[in-house]
Every structure is written in C-alpha cells, then in structure tokens.
Amino acid sequence: MKIKVLFSLLFFSLIIISCTEKGRTFSSEEFLVVPQPNSVELGEASMVLNGKLTVSVNGEEQKEVAELLADYLKGEIQVEIKEGGSAQLNFLKNEDLDSEAYKLIVNPGQINIEALDRAGWFYGVQSLRQIIVKESSEGDQTYTWLVPSVKIEDEPRFGWRAYMLDESRYFQGEVFVKKILDQMALLKMNRFHWHLTDDAGWRIEIKKYPLLTEVGSKRSDSEIGTWGSGETAGEPHEGFYTQEQIKDIVAYAAARNITIVPEFEMPGHSSAAIAAYTWLGTAGKDIDVPVKFGRHYDNYDVTKPEFVQFSKDVLKEIFELFPSEVIHIGGDEVGYKVWEESAHVQKYMQEHGINTPADLQISFTNDISKFIEDNGRRMMGWNEIMGTNIHTDFSEKKDDQEAETELAKNVVVHFWKGNLELATEAAEKGYGIVNSLHSNTYLDYSYKSISLEKAYSFDPIPEGLDAKYHQNVYGTGCQMWTEWAPNNEKVEYQTFPRIAAFAEVGWTELDNKDFDSFKQALAVIQTKYWDKAGINYAKVLDKEN
C-alpha cells in the first residue's frame, strides 16, 4: 500500500475552520479502503462527528448521492442535506477529472468530494463510508465517529468492472439481486452482467412470446452434486422476472452507478426457449426444459426467417428494458452436430456460400450485431463468436471448426477460454476485449482452484500485449455460474470474498496493489458490511495469513 503520511496540514489549511474539535491522528496501517485508492496522503488529526453530518449539494445528482449516503449511515449518523452554501461535507464540480474519478479531501473541519459527474461523487462517498471509524472511550457508552484527515485522488484502472450472475440455472430473486448490487457499489464495480436465458431456464418476461416464461421458466427437477452425478433434487424449480421487476432493478442499479448488461444467449444454450416454441429449434423435436446441466443437442435454427424475427423481437423488448449500450448475446459452446445433420440447414449453407457451421454462426452473429448497432447499441459475446475452435467435441467433422468469415469489428469480445494469444490477437485487430479467463475469474470454481490470492493476482492485460493496444482491453468480469449453487447462501459463499479481489483488479493500478494490505482491509469490510448484511462469505482469510 503506497500511502504518504504528512506531518503538516499545509494542504488542508485553506479550508480548516477555527476552533474545530479534532480527533486523533490515524496511521497508514489503520487507513483501509477496498479497492485501494491510487493516491492517498494522510494528514494529522481527524474530523469528529457527534452523530450528525451536514451536507451541502447543488443540483439533483449531488442530492441523490447525498440521500444514498444518508441511507448508508442511517441509525448511526444523522445526515442533514441542504441546498447550496457550505457544510461539513460539500460536493464540488471539478471539470479536470474524468468520469468516475474523484478527489476526497478531509480535514478536522470539512470534507470535500470533487468530481466531474455523479459517478465520481458516488465513488467518493463509497470511500468516505469505509474510512469513517466508530470509537468510544474506555468504559464510555457514548460513541463518536472519526474521519481521518486525508487527501485521496483516485480513478479506476479499467472502465469495465463486472460481476456476472447466472440465474438461468437457479432463480435467485429480486431481493438477492439488490443485495449483490449494494455490495458491488461499495466495491466500485460498475457492470452487472445478468445471465437470464440458457438451457436450464428462461428468466425474463417477453410480452410477445409469453410461453418463454410460462413454459421455459420451469423445469421438473434439477441435477445436483456435480457434472454427470446422476442425482437430482427431486423437486421442480421455477422463477422469472416480470418487466416491471426488471425496470425496478435496472433503476436500483443505475442509482448505484451500475449498468446492467443483459445476456440473451444465442444460437446455442437455447433449450428453454425451444421447449416453449419447438419451431425455434433445428431438429424440429418437442423437448422439455432440461433437468441435466451442460451443453445440449439442439440450437436455434438461424436459417429460419421465423427465428431471425424472434431474435429481433426479443431484442427490441430487451432494448426497452435495459439502457445498457452493450447487449450480450452469449454465443459460446454451440454444438454444430444438429446443423450438420439438418438437410435444410446444409441446403441453406450451400445456397449462401457458407462452408462451415462456424461460418454459419459468424454470419448470423454479424447480422445480429448489425441489428443491435442499428438500434444504437453494441453487441458483446463470448470469444467463440470469433470463429476459432476452442473445443474438441462440437462437430462430427473436425476440420469444420475454424471459420473463414471475419467477425464484425463493432463487437466486444468476452474472452473466457482458450489460449491467451486469442485475446491478444483480438486486441491487436481492434476488437474491444473484456478478459474473464475462466481459470482465474470463475466464481463457481472452488477456493482450491482459484484462491483469494490467485483472484487478486489476475491481470486483465494479456502478458506481452503491446502498450498501444491496452486501450482495447476494457476490463474484466468475475462470473458466478450456478449449476451447483442452488440458493442465495451458496452463491454468497462462492462470491464473497473473491468479488472484492476482482474489484481491486478492476480499479487499482498494479503499482498500488498489495495483497497483505488488501487482506487487512478485507477483514474490516467483512465485519463492517458483510456481517451486517448477513452475507455467507467464505472464511478464507485465516487460511491465507
């Protein structure tokens, strides 16, 4: 942790209020924030809050952030918000800062948070929350709250700092999603990647196609244990979000500077939708929503105009629900066998000069990316959409795996599997990259496979990538797949505390990262926030000390 301790108050002198009550001086070891800020200068003394904090705001955005702060401190510190003037806490506009950047300056008399926009003020508040310390004198039943004198100048390393929740396998519910969003906000994560459709369930209401939820959101049983266990839970599972619930959750996230990126999986992982509407599939067979997890046989039939219209209809409703610039279409693990065995698909490919199923997928993907772009958005997909074979069992014809068709350049490639040279190549070709290499970022993996330290050590920039291409790496995401996480408690156990490590991966510059300091700060986060929220986090800190 790189913190400069100043033994004078020169940089505070302009705003110190005379006769202000001062608290004790904090050491660098006591100053703990996750993710670690990029510049911290500690001063002498601290501000004393005797259960009250006055806040001055100008404009609706500052007021909204102040109201969130009041809610965070509810029950401990009374927050009084006023328009204009000066107060103990002031939100100030700084045109020299980038979006999400902030300066937090505290002295015994005043707190200033400078930012360009709402995101910066919001993140300044998240750091302020973490540095407020509650203290009492020995034997005294009254408490005071101290805010260390400090100057923080901070901004994120990456613009894309994501957490993905898979709710196709198991529906987790609105209350739980908001709980996750609250913890993401504290950790300055700004993308909630919502995996809502897959083989195991369709979780989003689409008004034009009601059977997607009437049929596709329900399955008769669920495989349990692990892959191929042969065991099932012996009970049905169902659940989906109405469009009104979606709108409410999207607004809740936006208030916390989190953009929800929806994933509408296609052309593979489509069994739940095909169970609802048989004509969407290639095989033309009636199926049920699968009980067993994993990749399944049928795909959407991308050669059918009816399916193409379906995909666009669903996307139009998604556009209405989610203001996100980026829309995720999945595109991973598409088994080509059903296309290879379909006479009408093979005829379509011959008529259109398409040589391989991989080229058929890219042709469809490029058309969808154009439709998404024409609607003012940008497509994102797992790295199979580039047409490079990263699997060995997806075709009867092994030489049909590599595509000749080039993926459209307007898409974001979500790298998850394969040689890192693929991510490097994509960045060098000008594609936007989000690096979520599964061996380092998959939260469904055990702590033995991905320890807290391994998660913390991940660098989204592929080793050896020329610096001129670093701007094409937008950031990273950590993925919570839920095949073996059937309830909130299990999701929490797999997610926390590793989510905090990934938050620091996304925010903090490499030179300012320090795993020992992170663990000290994490211990405070756990007791101060996660225990209060009732989060079932894994108790791994002692094992890593």
**pLDDT tens profile 235-288:** 999 999 999 999 999 999 999 999 999 999 999 999 999 999 999 999 999 999
Place of tokens 């970022």: 441
Residues contacting 285, CB < 8 A, separation 6+: 278, 298
Bridge-partner residues for 379, per DSSP? Answer: 327
* CA–CA gap between residue 38 and residue 482 (Å, rounded): 34
The per-residue pLDDT for 286 is: 97
- How far apart CA 22 and CA 12 sit, in angstroms, is 13
Q: Assign a CATH topology to domain 3-154.
A: Chitobiase; domain 2 (3.30.379)
Tokens of 202: 């369709």
Bond into 267 cis (ω within 30): yes
Query: 540 falls in which pLDDT band (50, 70, 90)?
Result: very high
DSSP 429: T
Neighbour-count burial of 31, counting CB atoms closer than 10 A to its CB (0-12 exposed, 13-18 middle, 19+ buried): buried
- Structure tokens given for 434: 């989000």
C-alpha R_g of the chain:
25
pLDDT score at 103: 98
∠ at Cα 197 (200, 484), nearest 5°? 45
How crowded is residue 528: how many other Cβ atoms within 10 Å of its Cβ?
A: 16
Q: How many CA atoms lie within 13 A of 360 on its CB side?
A: 29
Phi/psi of residue 43, nearest 5 degrees? -110, -175
Answering whether pTM is above 0.85, one says yes
Could you give the residue range(s) of every CATH 3.30.379.10 domain in the chain? Answer: 3-154
Torsion of CA 57, 61, 67, 72, to 10 degrees: -110
| Contact in structure between 169 and 483 (CB atoms under 8 Å) | yes
For the stretch 149-167, pLDDT in tens is: 999 999 999 999 999 999 9
Give the pLDDT confidence score for residue 397 in this predicted structure. 56
Main-chain phi, psi angles of 461, to 5 degrees: -80, 115
Intervals of CATH 3.20.20.80 along the chain: 160-514
Q: Which residues contact 460 (CB under 8 A, 6 or more apart)?
A: 158, 434, 435, 473, 475, 476, 505, 506
Nearest residue to 484 (alpha-carbon basis) of 518, 519, 521, 445: 445
How confident is the model over 34-46, as pLDDT tens digits? 999 999 999 999 9
For residue 442, give Cα distances in angstroms to 25, 284, 296, 435, 438: 41, 34, 21, 12, 5
Q: What single-letter DSSP state applies at residue 511?
A: G
Tokens of 503: 């938050």
| Residue 232 DSSP label | B
Give every CB contact of residue 242 below 8 A, 6+ residues apart in sequence.
Answer: 205
Q: Is the pLDDT of residue 3 over 60?
A: no
Q: Per the structure block, which two tokens stand in for 539?
A: 């108790």
pLDDT at 12: 40
**Can you give the three-state secondary structure of 271-318, one letter per residue?**
HHHHHHCHHHECCCCCCCCCCCCCCCCCCECCCCHHHHHHHHHHHHHH
pLDDT in tens, 80-112: 999 999 999 999 999 999 999 999 999 999 999
What type of residue is 3? Answer: I
CA distance 232 to 454: 33
pLDDT 10s digits, 165-205: 999 999 999 999 999 999 999 999 999 999 999 999 999 99
* DSSP states along 75-90: TTSEEEEEESS--SEE
Euclidean distance between CA atoms 432 and 160, whole angstroms: 11
Question: With bands split at pLDDT 50, 70 and 90, how would you rate the model's confidence at 390?
Answer: confident
Q: How confident is the model at residue 137 (pLDDT cuts 50, 70, 90)?
A: low
Residue 16: closest CA among 78, 98, 105: 105
Reduced to 3 states, what is the DSSP secondary structure of residue 343? helix
Measured distance CA(130)–CA(31) in Å, rounded:
9
Residues near 537 by beta carbon (within 8 Å), at least 6 away in sequence: 492, 493, 496, 497, 526, 530
> To 5 degrees, how large is the angle CA 158–CA 116–CA 76?
90
Instruction: Give whole-number Cα distances, 50 to 21, 23, 301, 338, in Å.
Output: 10, 11, 66, 69
Q: Is the pLDDT of residue 47 over 50?
A: yes
**Beta strands 432-435 and 473-480: pairing type?**
parallel
CA distance 383 to 419: 11
Contact 456, 515 (CB under 8 A): yes
Average pLDDT, the chain: 93
Q: How far apart are CA 204 and CA 213, in angstroms?
A: 7
Q: Mean pLDDT throughout 490-505?
A: 98
Q: What is the pLDDT of residues 469-479, one digit of tens each?
A: 999 999 999 99
The residue written with tokens 């607004």 in the block is 251
Q: How far apart are CA 468 and CA 317, in angstroms?
A: 38
What pLDDT does residue 399 have?
A: 44
Q: Does domain 160-514 have CATH number 3.20.20.80?
A: yes
Q: Summarize the confidence of residues 51-76 as an average pLDDT.
A: 96
CA distance 173 to 192: 15
pLDDT tier at 5, thresholds 50, 70, 90: very low
Label residue 170 exposed, middle or buried (CB < 10 Å: 0-12, 13-18, 19+): buried
**The amino acid at 435:** N
The pLDDT confidence band at residue 16, using thresholds 50, 70 and 90, is very low
